[in-house]
Amino acid sequence: MKKIIAILTLTLTLLIVLAGSMPNFAATAIANLHSSSLTVKPGETFTVVLSVNCQEGINGVIGLTYNYDKDKLDLVSEKIGTNYTNLGTGDTIDLITNSKNKLTNEDIYIFEFKAKETIKSQTIANISTGDIKIDSDEASNSEAIVKGQKTSITIKPEGNTDSEEPREETENPKEQEKEGGETEQEKKETEQEKTETEQEKTETEKETKENEKNNDKKNDLTSQNTTRDKNNSNKKTAEDTTKSKSQLPKTGTQKIIIGAILILSIIATVAYVAYRKMKF
């Protein structure tokens, strides 16, 4: 009897250890915030789209937040992705899918902005989101969190790219002669202002090029990730075709293992008891 109790105790211990060591299949995702235009004029409108890619499925997006330079841009409209519904209230955006199909690559939110018409000199406007919490279709550890995304737009008025107001250069030569020594001082100040303006213009153009370069890198990365995800999906489909259709899903493997161990334990216990009866 003591041996039977010892066997059962050992079996339960093994079950607990196996249950705790089973792997978790956490979802992974990527997001991208991209604009229809990188450079606009004052008064022009453009579209910014937030897209999400998650091969485990996109069941919803929880607590989405966003921000933009309100002194440079006006928010014209907001639109939810075709396959989603917003269950949030106020400024909170909680999206849930209304599709019965598995969604893996979706444009989940679309913004339309307008550059303010009052902008007179070239400037950069930023649009960003908070961290993106994605609820996938996986049964275990189904949430994936992606860092907040950001995109920048250059607002460039026609005929004026300087960050300073234009200078008046048509002075009366007779008045300059009357002022005498002050004329040289004004010339120095004018040259200094011109130098500062050129420096600011160069910095603005450099920042614009860097932003365009960063956006190109983001688009390239998104394209590479999409291609890689498609290749992985095709590879997985080919492997699944060659394997037996009886292969167990991830979410049921743990229960099957535990059930098998329980059955083996019961068989071992019954065999041991039968052996003891035959012996005595």
Judgement on whether residues 12 and 101 belong to the same structural domain of the protein: no
201 — pLDDT class (breaks 50, 70, 90): confident
Q: Per the confidence metrics, is the pTM higher than 0.85?
A: no
Q: Compute the CA torsion angle 67, 70, 76, 81 (nearest 10 deg).
A: -10
Judgement on whether residues 16 and 43 belong to the same structural domain of the protein: no
pLDDT greater at residue 211 or residue 70: 70
Residue at which a domain ends, from 108, 137, 166: 166
Q: Is residue 220 part of a domain?
A: no
Q: Is residue 221 part of a domain?
A: no
pLDDT at 185 over 50: yes
pLDDT at 210 over 50: yes
What confidence tens digit (pLDDT) does each residue in 19-78 have?
Answer: 554 444 566 889 999 999 999 999 999 999 999 999 888 888 989 999 999 999 999 999
Q: Output the pLDDT for position 52.
A: 94
Judgement on whether residues 13 and 42 belong to the same structural domain of the protein: no
Judgement on whether residues 48 and 160 belong to the same structural domain of the protein: yes
Judgement on whether residues 45 and 67 belong to the same structural domain of the protein: yes
248 — pLDDT class (breaks 50, 70, 90): very low
Q: Is residue 53 part of a domain?
A: yes
Judgement on whether residues 11 and 33 belong to the same structural domain of the protein: no
Highest mean pLDDT among 16-20, 31-35, 196-200: 31-35
Judgement on whether residues 19 and 45 belong to the same structural domain of the protein: no
Given the DSSP bridges, would you call strands 93-97 and 60-64 parallel, antiparallel or unpaired? antiparallel
**Mean pLDDT across the chain:** 75
170 — pLDDT class (breaks 50, 70, 90): very low
Six token digits for residue 165? 């107001």
Task: Identify the CATH number of the domain in which residue 160 sits.
Answer: 2.60.40.680
Residue at which a domain ends, from 166, 183, 209: 166
Count of structural domains, the chain: 2
What confidence tens digit (pLDDT) does each residue in 114-156 have?
Answer: 999 999 999 999 999 999 999 886 554 578 889 999 999 999 9
Q: Is residue 270 part of a domain?
A: yes
Q: Is residue 203 part of a domain?
A: no
Q: Of 48, 77, 50, 214, give the one whose Cα is nearest residue 132.
A: 50
Judgement on whether residues 6 and 103 belong to the same structural domain of the protein: no
Judgement on whether residues 93 and 33 belong to the same structural domain of the protein: yes
Six token digits for residue 32? 């991208």
Judgement on whether residues 54 and 153 belong to the same structural domain of the protein: yes
What confidence tens digit (pLDDT) does each residue in 81-110 have?
Answer: 999 999 888 778 999 888 888 888 999 999
Judgement on whether residues 112 and 76 belong to the same structural domain of the protein: yes
Q: Output the pLDDT for position 50.
A: 95
Q: Is residue 56 part of a domain?
A: yes
Residue at which a domain ends, from 166, 192, 220: 166
pLDDT at 259 over 80: no
The enclosing H or E element of 46 equals strand 45-53
Parent domain of 273: 2-23+251-279
Alpha carbon separation from 67 to 89, 124, 151, 240 (Å, rounded): 17, 15, 11, 44
Judgement on whether residues 18 and 91 belong to the same structural domain of the protein: no
Q: Is residue 130 part of a domain?
A: yes
Q: Is residue 86 part of a domain?
A: yes
- What share of the chain in percent tops pLDDT 70? 61
Q: Output the pLDDT for position 163.
A: 47
250 — pLDDT class (breaks 50, 70, 90): very low
